[in-house]
A and B are shown apart, each in its own frame.
Chain A
Amino acid sequence: MAEQNMKMEQYDSSLFQQVELNEQAAERISGKSLNFWQDAWMRLRKNKAAIMSLIIILILSLLSIFGPMLAGRDAYEQSITKAKLPPKVTGLEWAGFDGVSTLGEKEINFYETKKVEENYWFGTDHLGRDLWSRVWEGTRVSLFIGLMAAIIDVIVGVTYGGISAYNGGRVDNIMQRIVEVLTGVPNLILIILFILILEPGITTIILAMTITGWIGMSRLVRGQILKLKNQEFVLAARTLGASSTRLIFKHLIPNTLGTIIISLMFTIPGAIFFEAFLSFIGLGLAPPQPSLGTLINEGYRELKTFPFLLVVPSTVIVLLMVSFNMLADGLRDAFDPRLRR
């Protein structure tokens, strides 16, 4: 035979002893067991942009809670003598936080002219209110509105979409027609009417935004559940006699959670932005209540003389928007089942 012509390497003959086949060993799975969330977290951790965004969001959230306390000033306290002070931070003078502003041709150190001893980190507005405190107070309000709007969207949207898809047939048909009618109403007009009728305030804005805001979520959830409903694992649970509650909470909802969370992460910055937009066009929160939108609105009036009044809240809102969107993108990649084996 051919191999006899070939030069064969000689091995220790014990190597050619037969080994008993271990069927259990052939079934063993190596590697650590990860559930869906651990697996997603592992993916997210490798996404630097998403992790940076997460850190920025955490820092901004912490500042929005504890920021005003750090400065020790009230966000509403007015002091005309200290109005329109530029930002000043000891040690950060080189970065522009030097209390100096340019009026006409001249550079003026307002802290010296107004004889103010203490530093205002972000300066003060036209009524002498501390901008640092107002910005974080405003961030808190904006975040709260964003979060509440998103949570209400999720609750209403998931329930509506879930019921519609789970029942299917005629129920689904009627519920979807209602949604179509709702989407037909221009939502900006609806919101303006809402705000005109009710007292302007945080609750009104949240309500106004959620009248139609949940529709997107409900459609998403409906689509997911319609797809999952006919998956074999759901059919298997049905043949085992699972109740509706069990089907919904054990099988359907856990498999839509990823989608819901991603959508939630995109809804929050949307709501923050919408609040800012409403406040900016004067339909939002009433003064003296600060929000990022009202602060930008006020700052924009002083744009030429005291740009910091616009720059500071704008920076915060930009950071929030970008971070939330990047985190949502990262989460989408982390949850994406196409990359899962």
Chain B
Amino acid sequence: METILSVRDLNVAFHTFAGTVQAVRGVSFDLKKGETLAIVGESGSGKSVTSKAIMRLIPNPPGEITKGEILFEGRDLVKLSDKEMQKVRGRDIAMIFQDPMTSLNPTMTIFKQIAEGLKRHQGLTGDAAKKRTLELLTLVGIPNPEARLKQYPHQLSGGMRQRIVIAIALACNPKVLIADEPTTALDVTIQAQILELLKDIQQKTGTAIIFITHDLGVVANMADRVAVMYAGKLIEKGTVDEIFYEPRHPYTWGLLGSMPRPSDDRTLDLPAIPGTPPNLLHPPAGDAFAPRNKYAMKIDFEKEPPMFPISETHEAATWLLHPQAPAVEPPPAIRELALKYRPDSAFAKSLLKGGQV
């Protein structure tokens, strides 16, 4: 498949009173046409900063893209002027934010907010704009769209508001849609509806989606490919099946393990990752996850692990993949899933032999 967006060695820093925070440290990934790439991580992992950097929405000061390129259809977005970037934003790449309440203007009607982008990027006004707005509202599943045109955001429920936000983002048929935790502020039942809507829209319009989230359940539901971030770095990426059924990085294991599953024995403790993510003012030497990693080796505290390729589509940054590393036993939940769904994978076979690689 054709690559539409390519991020190469992206570095973003924030200059604060206390010092420089390296929020994103050398992130690279490709987004292919029509696919959904999920970027997963905990708060402070740099996943949101990465998405804002692509949109060039990092406030400067204090933020700054210090290194790297963001290639969109061959153009490096980092080098564009603010004016050129404004044309890209909304028309080619659109963004949906977490909080539908604050991403809508409370003093403007729904129609005006949607029509704004139509006018700016496509020159649509009057009846043409109205027609397109109604189309969009129908597309995002808003019942009785005609009546909604003159309403204000406060007259709508949270789920409806997020649909409006999505309609605004879709107004100009963007090639890439960045969704930054679009369902985190919503209730589970509403979340389910919005996720279904996004998948539905992707099928109809063929737009590529970068989906930023901390919820692995949502990832399993939405993603074609997954990139896991920790402390400003990508630590594992692969197809959704590879990440869930053949994960290699201990952090991915930890994340997967700490997710509740209905089949679990509820009297047992949940497997948790101990400790807290590192402070990126003073990132630790070596592997940033090492202090919380129960599989940590000496080398993790000294040298940063490179990305080890596992398959065409799958790579992970952990020293456990080095041939010299000892075989380790992943947590039971990981083992169980791998053996259940991918018994023929190399990962599952190595598990049966008593450990990984």
Of the candidates A3, A17, A22, A26, the one whose C-beta lies within 8 Å of that of B309 is: A3
Residue of B275, B293, B300, B346 most packed against chain A (CB within 10 A): B275
A15 touches B298 (CB 8 A): yes
For residue A10, which residue of chain B has the nearest CB? B324
Contact flags A310-341 to B (C-beta < 8 A → 1, else 0): 00000000000000000000000000000101
Complex Cα–Cα for A29 and B293 (A): 18
Known: A15-B302, A16-B297, A16-B326. A27 touches B275 (CB 8 A): yes
With a cutoff of 8 Å between Cβ atoms, the chain A residues found around residue B167 in the complex are none
Complex Cα–Cα for A182 and B274 (A): 59
A6 touches B319 (CB 8 A): no
Contact flags A1-36 to B (C-beta < 8 A → 1, else 0): 111101010110111111101110111011100000
With a cutoff of 8 Å between Cβ atoms, the chain B residues found around residue A19 in the complex are 290, 296-298, 300-301
Known: A1-B357, A3-B310, A31-B281. A21 touches B297 (CB 8 A): no
B275 touches A3 (CB 8 A): no
With a cutoff of 8 Å between Cβ atoms, the chain A residues found around residue B18 in the complex are 31, 341
A16 to chain B, nearest CB (A): 5
For residue A22, which residue of chain B has the nearest CB? B291
A21 touches B282 (CB 8 A): no
Complex Cα–Cα for A318 and B308 (A): 66
B352 interface residue per 8 A CB criterion: no
With a cutoff of 8 Å between Cβ atoms, the chain A residues found around residue B326 in the complex are 16, 18
With a cutoff of 8 Å between Cβ atoms, the chain B residues found around residue A11 in the complex are 299, 303, 322, 324
Q: How many residues of chain B have a CB within 8 Å of chain A?
A: 36
B83 to chain A, nearest CB (A): 28
A43 interface residue per 8 A CB criterion: yes
Q: Which of A194-229 contact B (CB under 8 A)?
A: none
Complex Cα–Cα for A6 and B309 (A): 9
A301 interface residue per 8 A CB criterion: no
A246 interface residue per 8 A CB criterion: no
B263 interface residue per 8 A CB criterion: no
A140 to chain B, nearest CB (A): 36
With a cutoff of 8 Å between Cβ atoms, the chain B residues found around residue A29 in the complex are 279
Complex Cα–Cα for A30 and B17 (A): 16
A2 touches B310 (CB 8 A): yes
B182 to chain A, nearest CB (A): 24
Interface size class of A (residues with CB under 8 A): 20 to 34
For residue B325, which residue of chain A has the nearest CB? A16
With a cutoff of 8 Å between Cβ atoms, the chain B residues found around residue A21 in the complex are 274, 292-294, 296
With a cutoff of 8 Å between Cβ atoms, the chain A residues found around residue B291 in the complex are 22, 25-26
A48 interface residue per 8 A CB criterion: no
A46 interface residue per 8 A CB criterion: yes
Of the candidates A2, A4, A16, A25, the one whose C-beta lies within 8 Å of that of B299 is: A16
Complex Cα–Cα for A14 and B297 (A): 9
Complex Cα–Cα for A23 and B296 (A): 12
With a cutoff of 8 Å between Cβ atoms, the chain B residues found around residue A13 in the complex are 324
For residue B284, which residue of chain A has the nearest CB? A30
B321 interface residue per 8 A CB criterion: yes
B311 interface residue per 8 A CB criterion: yes
A4 touches B17 (CB 8 A): no
B321 touches A3 (CB 8 A): yes
A47 to chain B, nearest CB (A): 10
With a cutoff of 8 Å between Cβ atoms, the chain A residues found around residue B299 in the complex are 11, 15-16
With a cutoff of 8 Å between Cβ atoms, the chain A residues found around residue B152 in the complex are none
B293 touches A1 (CB 8 A): no
With a cutoff of 8 Å between Cβ atoms, the chain B residues found around residue A42 in the complex are 17
B285 to chain A, nearest CB (A): 13
With a cutoff of 8 Å between Cβ atoms, the chain B residues found around residue A46 in the complex are 17
A330 to chain B, nearest CB (A): 13
For residue B299, which residue of chain A has the nearest CB? A15
With a cutoff of 8 Å between Cβ atoms, the chain B residues found around residue A17 in the complex are 297-298
B323 touches A3 (CB 8 A): yes
With a cutoff of 8 Å between Cβ atoms, the chain B residues found around residue A3 in the complex are 308-310, 321-323, 357
Known: A3-B308, A3-B321, A30-B282. A15 touches B297 (CB 8 A): yes
B250 to chain A, nearest CB (A): 11
Known: A16-B324, A31-B282, A46-B17. A2 touches B311 (CB 8 A): yes
With a cutoff of 8 Å between Cβ atoms, the chain B residues found around residue A27 in the complex are 275-276
Q: Which of A36-51 contact B (CB under 8 A)?
A: 42-43, 46
Contact flags B254-290 to A (C-beta < 8 A → 1, else 0): 0000000000000000000011100101100000001
Given A15-B297, A23-B274, 10 additional A-B pairs, CB 8 A: A3-B310, A3-B321, A3-B323, A11-B324, A18-B295, A26-B275, A31-B18, A42-B17, A43-B17, A339-B16
Interface residues of A (CB under 8 A from B): 1-4, 6, 8, 10-11, 13-19, 21-23, 25-27, 29-31, 42-43, 46, 339, 341
A-B contact pairs, 27 of them (CB 8 A): A1-B357, A3-B309, A3-B322, A4-B323, A6-B309, A8-B322, A8-B323, A10-B324, A11-B299, A13-B324, A15-B297, A16-B324, A18-B295, A19-B290, A19-B296, A19-B300, A21-B274, A21-B292, A21-B293, A21-B296, A23-B275, A26-B276, A26-B291, A27-B275, A42-B17, A43-B17, A339-B17
4 smallest A-B Cβ distances: which pairs? A26-B275, A15-B299, A21-B294, A26-B291
